[in-house]
Structure 1
Amino acid sequence: MHIKTTKCNRFCLVASVTNPEVFSRPEAQAGFEALFRSFDPEVQFQYFRSFRRVRISFSDALAAAEARLRLNKTDFNGKEMRLYFAQSVHIGSPRLEPPKPDKQFLISPPASPPVGWEQSKDAMPVINYDLLCAISKLGPGDKYELHTATPTTPSVVVHVCEDEGEVGDSSPLEDSDQDDKPRPMRPKIIQTRRPDYRSDVKQ
């Protein structure tokens, strides 16, 4: 929407009235209107109390000009009255155009993808087949070193866990087939004992 330069309305005056009686007392309004009816009997008035302004519409442009020439900066009930020609605003376009979509990318989520945007494809998962092959060849108790230790970093070693059935639950026959190595005992989880009930303790 483009707003052009404002132009004066030659048929309309705006009176700046500081006397509040013009907006509240009918006698003051009648005296105020009589000043302008002497120039144009068909003059019309619109009162704007909040702005302390009165819009005065004339049927003749010459009558409006003469009224402003004679009554501007005159005294009305002890207060100075000022008169101005009303301003008319001319809009370039009869319709209100939407704003340019310069900052629509700030909307989250965006209303539509920008021009040239394409859906990105998910990357393929990285699978270390050498590591999988080395682990598959390991037996129980074996280890595979991924990275050798340096003076500043430790080594990374993969240990193969033993099966649950081989720790503490193996039969004598199965133990005879395995190496004579001591097997660690599986720790037993001890349940916490509930305190004894005492009648003197208040719940």
Structure 2
Amino acid sequence: MHIKTTKCNRFCLVASVTNHEVFNRPEAQASFEGLFRSFDPEVQFQYFKSFRRVRISFSDALAAAEARLRLHKTDFNGKEMRLYFAQSVHIGSPRLEPPKPDKQFLISPPASPPVGWEQSQDATPVINYDLLCAISKLGPGEKYELHTATPTTPSVVVHVCDDEHGDSSAPDDSDQDDKPRQPRPKIIQTRRPDFAPEVEQ
């Protein structure tokens, strides 16, 4: 959005009038307008009763400045009248412009990637072939030390599980019929502890 700028309008004054007769009685309006017509005969008035303001447009900037200099904080029908130069508001464009797409890539999902954005490549996984070779040579019950212990760090050791049948070779189907199968271990559930509620008196 464009930044709006405010500057002073040298041809226009705004009068703050607390006297309601200026807005209701034609005689009071004629007396009020006569004060400013002495400085500029072509002066124009716009009355805003709800805001108790009168917009006074001059055809000459010098006449507006002189009227403001002589009539500011003067008495009008027993009430003080104050005069201010009107301000004109300027917005950069007559229509509302969309915001610059500097951070639109933060929207999920993004409308479009930012300029110069590229897809990052996934890192190649690190494969330790020495470790794989050492583990493949291990037999049941053997171990392989990956990291030697130091005074401040423990050692890292890989243990290979023992074979269920006592050897590393897989049993034949014919042997399975002759040998009795080992019973599966029974899972014993943990007994719930006894609970004796205590009633506080």
Which TM bucket (shorter chain)?
0.5 to 0.7
Unaligned runs of 5+ in 2: none
Higher alpha-carbon deviation: 78-87 or 54-63: 54-63
1:54 is displaced (CA, Å) by 1.2
1:160 is displaced (CA, Å) by 0.9
Q: In 2, distance between residues paired with 1:15 and 1:173?
A: 108
> What's the C-alpha RMSD, in Å, of the aligned pairs?
7.0
1:76 is displaced (CA, Å) by 0.8
Give CA-to-partner distance per residue, 1:116-151, whole Å, 9 cap, x none. Answer: 443221111111111111111212211111122233
Normalising by structure 2, we get a TM-score of 0.55
Give CA-to-partner distance per residue, 1:30-62, whole Å, 9 cap, x none. Answer: 653465567778754323457543102356778
Higher alpha-carbon deviation: 46-55 or 184-193: 184-193
Change (3 A) 1:193 1:47: same
Contact 1:6 1:88 in 2 (8 A): yes
Unaligned runs of 5+ in 1: none
1:159 is displaced (CA, Å) by 0.6
Contact 1:3 1:89 in 2 (8 A): no
Residues matched between the structures, number? 200
Q: Percent identity?
A: 90
Structure 2 residue 189 is matched with structure 1 residue 191: yes
Higher alpha-carbon deviation: 123-132 or 174-183: 174-183
Q: In 2, distance between residues paired with 1:143 and 1:129?
A: 17
Change (3 A) 1:33 1:153: same
Higher alpha-carbon deviation: 149-158 or 113-122: 113-122
Normalising by structure 1, we get a TM-score of 0.55
